[in-house]
Amino acid sequence: MSLQKHFMQAQIIPISDPDDPRIADYVSVRERDLTGRHGKFIVEGKVTLEVFLSRSRFQPESLLIETGRVPVLQGLLDALPGNIPVYTADQPVMDAIAGFPIHRGILACGMKPEPPDFETWLSEQADPATLVVCIGLSNHDNAGAVFRNAAALGGDGIILDTESCDPLYRKAIRVSAGTALWMPFFHGLTAVEILEGLKRAGFDIWTLTPGEKAMSLYEADRPEKLAIVLGPEGPGLSQHLIDMGIAIRIPMTHEVDSLNIATSLAVTLSQRLSGA
């Protein structure tokens, strides 16, 4: 039975030419990740594809699947709307399209909607109790880990300033285990604009710092509406930003001067979630 007959809803379209214009969104994936793709993003791998097709806030535009992986994804493909094309290619052709070996053999392309303004985004959240604010977050692995930790430990949404990387970068989505596809986030504005907007919306602000003068996490009160602010790896938050909230530190030994941003968030959220 042909693939076209087996999958009644999905449009299965074999691709044999890497220059086929129909798969232009998947050409030179790594380079396009860095230079941008005009409001589109790429999802890679089975785990993230399952999230993308089952609970994502974003709509898929197309899929590109290595031919041998198609039977494994039968259930997902059967459930696809008929207007979403599923391109299939043998591994050498798929590698030539992407520009590097796609070992997972699974790619999908989605479209980012136009973002709302910050106040509108805040108002659309369903009574958020805990928001995570990332300032100058430039590492995509850390971005993915922040989303995954927030999803696991009670974060209700994530805010990233203009200096932070795109959480819908392919690697960030993969490291997040797909949580970046469904967790509410806002990406934009300066750090000062974000913190001022959160104050107007009634949030208490914790600015995390290893500074000895900061209050211990384990001594801080737990406000109903809390924004946890994390700075960039290395320099951390500026003193001006620290002073815009309540400076909070995680007690640690003197063997290291700070924790990774995703680890710091996990410790802070776990303590808040436990209510201890």
In the chain, which residue ranges form alpha helices assigned H by DSSP? 3-6, 29-35, 46-54, 74-78, 91-98, 118-124, 140-152, 170-175, 191-200, 239-242, 261-274
Q: Residue 152 carries which DSSP code?
A: H
User: pLDDT value at position 35?
Assistant: 53
pTM of the model: 0.90
Q: How far, in Å, CA of 14 to CA of 3, rounded?
A: 9
What mean pLDDT comes out for the span 112-127?
Answer: 89
User: pLDDT value at position 276?
Assistant: 52
- Nearest residue to 148 via CA among 178, 168, 187: 178
> How many Å is the Cα radius of gyration of the chain?
21
What mean pLDDT comes out for the span 211-218?
Answer: 93
User: pLDDT value at position 275?
Assistant: 67
Q: Write down the CATH number for the domain with range 3-111.
A: 3.30.1330.30
Over residues 42-88, the pLDDT tens digits come to 999 999 999 999 999 998 999 999 999 999 998 888 888 888 999 99
Task: State which CATH number among 3.40.50.300, 1.10.3470.10, 3.30.565.10, 3.40.1280.10 fits the domain covering 118-274.
Answer: 3.40.1280.10
254 phi and psi, to 5 degrees? Answer: -95, 15
As given in the structure block, the two tokens for residue 89 are: 């290619």
- Hey, where are the domains in the chain? 3-111, 118-274
Q: How far, in Å, CA of 36 to CA of 32, rounded?
A: 5
Averaged pLDDT score across all residues of the chain: 90
Per the CB < 8 A criterion, the answer to whether 211 and 249 are in contact is yes
Pairing of strands 204-208, 226-230: parallel
